């Protein structure tokens, strides 16, 4: 069957494809089966991670009360309260890092399993029949399969694992600590913190789309530069004899394209970094500001003024709740860069997967358009 009988989608057509359709398809390759304790069945890992995060939220809450317990013991000069604070602090200071380390381990498993399944599937399609020859020798659209099979699958799996962990962890903590905060200190403080970070997130999200496009372009330009250098190495004798200066100009032009685009990426990252820093540093200002508002304009601390220890404990516990809420909203800003990278690597990896998908069915004599439907 003729190689070009079925039309391969152009880059513009690919851009118009729905992102989520491609993303879900890629995740389906990364986690192809729900079988338990299987490399190909690593779909169970995010669910196990979600359960662990749910338990860790309770541990984080108890860990946040440690400072308040010590403040009460020191403020009241109570030995019994000090013993309780020491035991409470020791237990939860051990449980919290242990569960955090376990979460990180599960994140690394998701990363490694996803990359294994992606490379395994794409490599089999790449080496199927004459596909690799057609992509490298006949196809003129510069797929750069070597980079997409190695670097891009690794970058996608790494970003995907971190996004899975943070996307599960942050919303659970936001919902849980909002409920606890409303019960303990009322609705006004959590609402003000939500409104402040909603404004920051609203303006920061406008930077995501241009950043995705520039990261995608940067990877493409880097691949072209590397391929040009590989050609230079393989044709070193001819270049030395006839057109070394011409080849040098071509390489220099490719490098300049990489350099100029990297400057644009750096500027976009600068703006995103500013949003992240504002969100991180302002979490302290917003938390202490709301704590002062409760102290001056409400009766929240009236029942705790009986002893210095009770007042210090109440202040510490309220500050912990407000600070945790602000930090989790700030984590959303911190993850915007990761979301941008994940989107870019999704586009690059699915371009290769789409190319291999069509060629696989052309090789087997089937109509890839019918399979796509």
Label residue 17 left, alpha or beta by phi (over 0 means left) and psi (-120 to 50 means alpha).
beta
Distance CA 180, CA 322 (A): 10
Q: Tell which phi-psi region holds residue 6, choosing left (phi > 0), alpha (psi between -120 and 50) or beta.
A: beta
State pLDDT tens for residues 131-167: 666 666 666 555 566 667 777 788 888 888 888 888 8
Q: How many other C-beta atoms lie within 10 A of the C-beta of residue 52? A: 16
Q: Per residue in 81-140, pLDDT tens?
A: 889 889 998 999 899 999 999 999 999 888 888 888 888 888 877 777 666 666 666 665
pTM: 0.74
Q: What are phi and psi of 299, to 5 degrees?
A: -100, 25
What lies within 8 Å, CB to CB, of 35 at 6+ separation is 41
Q: Note whether 333 and 9 are within 8 A (CB).
A: no
More confident: 101 or 237: 101
CA 74 to the chain's CA centroid: 42
Q: What are the domain boundaries of the chain? A: 40-357
Q: Give the Cβ contact number of residue 103 at 10 Å.
A: 17
Greater confidence, 40 or 129?
Answer: 129
Helices 44-64 and 79-126: crossing angle in degrees, nearest 10, is: 160
- The fold for domain 40-357 equals ABC transporter transmembrane region fold (1.20.1560)
Tell me the average pLDDT of the chain. 76
């Amino acid at each position: 069957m003729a190689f070009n009988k079925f039309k391969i989608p152009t880059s513009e057509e690919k851009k118009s494809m729905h992102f989520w359709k491609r993303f879900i398809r890629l995740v389906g390759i990364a986690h192809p089966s729900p079988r338990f304790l299987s490399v190909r069945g690593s779909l169970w890992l995010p669910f196990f991670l979600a359960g662990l995060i749910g338990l860790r939220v309770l541990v984080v809450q108890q860990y946040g009360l440690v400072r308040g317990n010590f403040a009460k013991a020191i403020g009241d000069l109570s030995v019994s309260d000090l013993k309780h604070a020491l035991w409470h602090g020791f237990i939860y200071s051990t449980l919290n890092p242990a569960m955090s380390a376990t979460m990180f381990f599960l994140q690394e498993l998701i990363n490694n399993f996803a990359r294994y399944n992606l490379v395994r599937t794409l490599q089999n399609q790449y080496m199927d029949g004459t596909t690799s020859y057609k992509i490298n020798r006949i196809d003129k659209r510069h797929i750069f399969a070597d980079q997409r099979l190695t670097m891009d699958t690794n970058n996608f799996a790494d970003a995907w694992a971190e996004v899975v962990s943070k996307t599960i962890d942050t919303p659970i903590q936001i919902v849980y600590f909002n409920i606890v905060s409303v019960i303990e200190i009322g609705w006004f403080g959590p609402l003000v913190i939500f409104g402040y970070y909603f404004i920051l997130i609203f303006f920061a999200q406008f930077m995501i789309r241009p950043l995705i496009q520039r990261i995608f372009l940067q990877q493409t330009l880097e691949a072209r530069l590397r391929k040009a250098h590989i050609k230079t190495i393989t044709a070193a004798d001819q270049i030395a004899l006839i057109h070394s200066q011409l080849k040098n100009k071509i390489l220099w032009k490719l490098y300049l394209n990489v350099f100029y685009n990297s400057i644009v990426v750096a500027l976009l990252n600068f703006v995103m970094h500013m949003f992240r820093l504002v969100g991180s540093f302002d979490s302290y200002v917003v938390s202490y500001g709301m704590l002062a508002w409760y102290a001056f304009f409400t009766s929240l601390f009236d029942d705790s003024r009986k002893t210095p220890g009770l007042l210090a404990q109440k202040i510490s516990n309220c500050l912990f709740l407000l600070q945790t809420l602000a930090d989790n909203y700030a984590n959303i800003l911190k993850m915007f860069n990761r979301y941008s990278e994940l989107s870019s690597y999704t586009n690059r990896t699915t371009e290769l997967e789409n190319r291999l998908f069509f060629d696989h069915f052309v090789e087997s004599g089937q109509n890839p358009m019918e399979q796509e439907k």
